[in-house]
Amino acid sequence: MEALDRPPQALEETGLANRLLGRLESFLLNMSILAVLAMGAVIVGTILGRWLLGGQIPDDVLWVKDLMVAAVALPLASVAAARQNIVVEVFTNGASETAKAVLDFLGNLLGFVMFVLLSWGSWTEFLHVWADDSYYDGDLYLMQWPGHLVCAAGFSVLTLRLALAMFGRAVSLSPIDEREV
Q: Residue 135: helix, strand or coil by DSSP? A: strand
pLDDT tens per residue, range 10-28: 445 557 778 888 899 999 9
pTM of the model: 0.81
Backbone angles phi and psi of 135, in degrees to 5: -140, 160
Determine how many CB atoms are found less than 10 A away from the CB of residue 125: 17
Higher-pLDDT residue of 9 and 59 is 59
What pLDDT, on a 0 to 100 scale, did the predictor assign at position 175? 58
Sign, CA dihedral 87-4-108-149, equals positive
Higher-pLDDT residue of 176 and 161 is 161
**Confidence at 96, pLDDT banded by 50, 70, 90:** confident
